[in-house]
Amino acid sequence: MINVAKNGSQVLQVNGLSTASLVNPDGEGEKWAEAQDASLKVAGAGEPIVILGIGSAFHIQSVQKKLRSKGHRGRLIALDCCHESVEFANRSLVDVELLHVDTACGVDFFFARHDVASWVTQPFVLLRHKPTFQRSGQSLRFVETWLLGRTPEAFSAQLKLRPQIAAALNADRSRRLAETPLVSVRDLSKAWDISSELKTDRRLFRILEELVR
Amino acid sequence: MKILVVNLLRLGDVIAMAPAMKAIRLQNPGAEIHLMVNSNFSGAARLFEGLHRVHRFERDRIQAACVEADRPMFEAYDWLQRFVEETSDVGFDHIYNFTHNRLSGWLCGLLQAPKKTGLVLDGSGAVSFGSSWFRHLNQQVDFDDVQTFNHTDIFLGAVGGWELVSKVDFFDTLLLESKSGRAEAGARLSGLQISTQKIAFQISTSDPKKEWGEARFKSLAEKLLSAHPEARIFVTGAPNERERIEKFCKSCDVPAGLIQPAILTLPGVISFLEEMDLLITGDTSIKHLGSAGTARVIELIAGSADAFRTGSWKPGDYVVASREACAPCGHSEKCHRDVHACAIAISPAAVAALASSVLSAMQLRDVRAAMHAFATVQVYTVDRSEGPVQLVPLRSEHITDHALALTIERAARRLSLEKREGRFEKLDVGSEMLKVRQGLLRRFPDARPTELRHALADGETRLRHAEGMLNSLKIQLLRLKEAFQDPKRMLEMVSMVAAMRGRLQKNPWTRFIAEPLIQVIEDDRSAPFARFRKLSDAVQDLGIRLEIGLKLLRGLEIELENEAENEIDKEAKNTNSIETRIKNSTGEQA
């Protein structure tokens, strides 16, 4: 269902809940975009920006405007588990990749999707639209967990996207990672196989280990 | 030719490599010079002439991505992998790593280039330095402060810059000024007469331990402006320090307008410092900007600031340090004292006296006299008579074996490092020796040539004795060559070396030549061939140092002998002239 906010903008309603402000949804979206400055600052000019939570997409439009003014050339990708949000946003957004995620299909299916695999192994900036998170229950949290790749299940799924790293880990030591609540660079430092010391990926992680020393 | 210079340290360390950057540019005209720095300090790249491109290392980003649970686990890895690939794709011919830490070592190990100078770690963690100077940087961690080279000079040595230093006015124009910087500085100083003495204070540092303290700076400001009422003080700082600096200026008990904030961007502060007569600062990037520019610098050493390794490096500048036994402390150590003793010991009165001397363009001996009363501080002048920075105590030193040996050994060490790099033959040993003579004059201004010559002759005797020991060591090494697989023979040799090292280390004249023997250890578990190799290298290095040390000493002794003879001639002439005048005046009276 679509409502009209006081400022005249159309706002999507899902399951009786508004997905944006009914007073000034554009202003609300701009405010959220301003709050993402610190996260957006680190993004390289060509890096994908991934927004979790589409809602009525006002916040996505605001971030898009901000990124364009800074000369950002990378992809802007938005994910949601709500069909209605994706369809609604499709009507108003241009040059934004809108992905509907069905969490019932599982993490491996999610990463096997072409429209996910094409960016998830690059450095990307992850933004979360908290109001949408609060409305969506657990589903967006699952997607967040998958993208963060820190739970044992999500880490394991992300490793499948990076077979060269998986091949360099010691099978026994890697099993211990499954017992860790959240995997970190420090945890990973104990899981490498001795034979992989000369490999590029191991050496890249040596650099990261120096940073967390 | 494509050259990459890597410096992933802080802004001050990036600026401190300015002489090395200039040397690289002069030695490689037409080369594409790239710079890799932390993205926070990428603005510093504008300061170096002739840079083709800056590669920004996003240290803060990848560090946050490693430690923050709400960042993707592989964000840092993905970024780093791409960064290494893109950087390697440039196709560098030579990489210089001025960072000298493990992170940069691993990184440079991954970057592709046929030649690498500086710390590089291969996949197994094996270290290479690509230069005797960088190997030395690693070793001098364990040296006494007074023995060490300033890092600026090590970088210069590593790029082969010492040949250039004597040929051109090398230390002029190390950093670029920009139009916008000049405009910014001009705007800040508008309305001031050219004749007004301008003093810059840098009151903040990156680490509170290194700060001298606002209260002391306040007292200094009041004393200076009382002694120099026409002067103006500017308190420099970055835009994010505005509030603190404005508060500080308001709190000073001086007439309005005499002390003002100078909040400037990096290009602005470079041009601003060019207009200053004096900069008084702690260990900060501003100190390095001052060293690279024309303003005289007084550096105040507190906390973990290390005057000898990373202190001011422009000749004529001053370094003021306390005599506290705990200074310098470690970077990450908390101060264990109840009070900030190393800062308190540097009194505002002492700094004011020194600053007044500089502003009044006093001669060094008058500065010495002015500072004589301040016993709790050690004041050094920055001297480059020999080339590398030497911090020469302001108070005249008496000639001791230790002090004299230190001067000679630093020169010999520099020349032996150049010899290892294959550059010694290009050096004019005669002029190097004269530079050492200049250094001795600065350090011992009251010493007579005869006195110095006798002390050096003692040193030569010690080195000749060490030469004898070396010759017998060489014979033993030759015998060991046929039998290094025999653990007993190897152990005997190592024990002999250890004994020789112990004897050499007891005397200041032979201590420095013993340094290569430090790496020969009894419980070394390397393979026999590797141990033999280490022994041979150590003995060869020892031989080089001895050879150079003796050459220098001999040359200096001859020079001092000539000076002594000239002195005697001069005295004789003076005596004759006095006698003639007396005779003449007696004759007239008669």
Of A123, A149, A202, the CB nearest to B79: A123
pLDDT value of position B589 = 53
Residue B256 has pLDDT above 90, yes or no: no
A211 has a chain B CB within 8 A of its CB: yes
> CA–CA separation, B533 vs A182, rounded Å?
48
- What band does B168 get if pLDDT is binned at 50, 70 and 90? low
Q: Pick the residue with more confidence: B183 or B538?
A: B183
Q: Mark yes or no for CB contact B66/A182 under 8 Å.
A: no
Question: How many Å apart are CA B445 and CA A174, to the nearest integer?
Answer: 68
pLDDT of residue B386: 84
Consecutive H or E run containing B52: strand B51-57
Same domain, yes or no: A87 and A181? no
What is the mean pLDDT of the segment spanning B48-57?
Answer: 94
**Average pLDDT of the residues in B142-169:** 86
Q: What is the pLDDT of residue B587?
A: 62
Instruction: Report the gap between the CA of B521 and the closest CA in chain A (Å).
Output: 28
Give yes or no: residues A69 and A103 share one domain: yes
Average pLDDT, chain B: 89
The domain in which residue A71 lies consists of 25-148
Indicate yes or no: CB of A204 within 8 angstroms of CB of B101.
no
If pLDDT is split at 50, 70 and 90, which confidence band does B272 have?
Answer: very high
Which amino acid, residue A137?
G
Q: Does domain B2-165 have CATH number 3.40.50.2000?
A: yes
- Give chain A's largest Cα–Cα span: 65
| Residue A16, in any domain of the structure | no
Name the domain count of chain A: 2
- Give the minimum alpha-carbon distance from B41 to chain A in angstroms, rounded to a whole number: 14
End-to-end CA distance of chain B: 85
Number of C-alpha atoms within 13 angstroms, CB side, residue A213? 10
**Min distance A188 CA to chain B CA atoms (Å):** 10
Cβ-based contacts of B76 with chain A (< 8 Å):
185, 208, 211
pLDDT of residue B451: 86
Could you tell me if B236 and B272 are in contact, meaning their C-beta atoms sit under 8 angstroms apart? yes
A166 — contact with chain B (CB < 8 Å)? no
Q: Are residues A104 and A32 in the same domain?
A: yes
Among A98, A118, A148, the domain boundary falls at A148
* Domain residue extents for chain B: 2-165, 180-393, 403-567
ipTM beyond cut 0.90: yes
Judged against a pLDDT cut of 90, whether residue B324 lies above it is answered with no
Contacts of B109 in chain A (CB under 8 A): 203
Q: What is the SS3 assignment for B430?
A: helix
Contact B147, B410 (CB under 8 A): yes
Q: From the CA of A146, how many Å to the nearest CA of chain B? A: 9
Is residue A11 domain-resident? no
- pLDDT one-digit tens code per residue, B190-221: 888 878 999 999 999 989 899 999 999 999 99
- Does residue A82 lie within any of the structural domains? yes
Contact A121 B74 (CB under 8 A): yes
**Strand B232-237 vs strand B259-263: parallel, antiparallel, or unpaired?**
parallel
Q: Are residues A206 and A121 in the same domain?
A: no
CA distance readout (Å), B121 to B17, B25, B530: 22, 26, 19
- With bands split at pLDDT 50, 70 and 90, how would you rate the model's confidence at B446? confident
Residues A115, A180 within the same domain = no
Of B274, B276, B282, nearest to B299 by C-alpha is: B282
Q: Give yes or no on whether B2-165 and B180-393 have one common fold.
A: yes
A212 close contact with B: CB closer than 8 A: yes
How large is the average pLDDT for residues A97-114? 94
Q: Looking at the partner chain, which of A42, A147, A204 has a beta carbon nearest the beta carbon of B58?
A: A42
Res B335: pLDDT: 83
Asked if residues B20 and B158 have their Cβ atoms less than 8 Å apart, the reply is yes
Distance CA B355, CA A213 (A): 43
Interface contact B71-A148, CB threshold 8 A: yes
Cα nearest neighbour of B105 on chain A: A207
Question: B371, B312 in Cβ contact below 8 A?
Answer: no
pLDDT digits (tens, 9 = 90+) for B476-491: 888 888 888 888 888 8
Once rounded to an integer, what is the mean pLDDT over residues B449-472? 89
CA dist., res. B210 & res. B225, Å (int): 25
Q: Would you say residue B578 has pLDDT above 80? A: no
DSSP letters spanning B219-279: HHHHHHHHH-TT-EEEEEE-GGGHHHHHHHHHHS-S-TTSEEEEE--HHHHHHHHHT-SEE
What pLDDT does residue B588 have? 55
| Nearest beta carbon to residue A204 from set B61, B72, B84 | B84
Is A67 within a domain? yes
A9 found inside a domain: no
3-state secondary structure B493-557: HHHHHHHHHHHHHCCHHHHHHHHHHHHCCCCCCCCHHHHHHHHHHHHHHHHHHHHHHHHHHHHHH
High-pLDDT (> 90) share of chain B, % = 53
Asked whether residue A154 is assigned to any structural domain, the reply reads no
Task: For chain A, give the mean pLDDT.
Answer: 92
**Residue B590 above 60 pLDDT?**
no
pLDDT of B71: 93
Do residues A196 and A99 share a domain?
no
Q: Are residues A184 and A137 in the same domain?
A: no
Mean pLDDT, residues B444-452 taken together: 84
Of A121, A122, A198, the CB nearest to B123: A198
Distance from CA of A124 to the nearest CA of B (A): 7
Of A123, A148, A173, the position where a domain reaches its end is A148
Q: Does A203 sit within 8 Å of B106, measured CB to CB?
A: yes
Q: Per the CB < 8 Å rule, is A212 touching B63? A: yes
Would A14 be classed as within a structural domain? Answer: no
- Is A182 touching B (CB cutoff 8 A)? yes
pLDDT at A138 over 90: no
CATH (residue range B180-393): 3.40.50.2000
pLDDT of residue A167: 92
Same structural domain for residues A137 and A173?
no
Residues of chain B that touch chain A, judged by Cβ-Cβ distance less than 8 Å: 58-63, 66-67, 69-82, 84, 101-103, 106-107, 109-110, 121-125
CATH of the domain at A122: 3.40.50.150
User: What's residue B24's pLDDT?
Assistant: 96
Q: How far apart are CA B352 and CA B379, in angstroms?
A: 13
- Is residue A167 situated within a structural domain? yes
Out of A126, A203, A212, the one facing B123 most closely (by C-beta) is A203
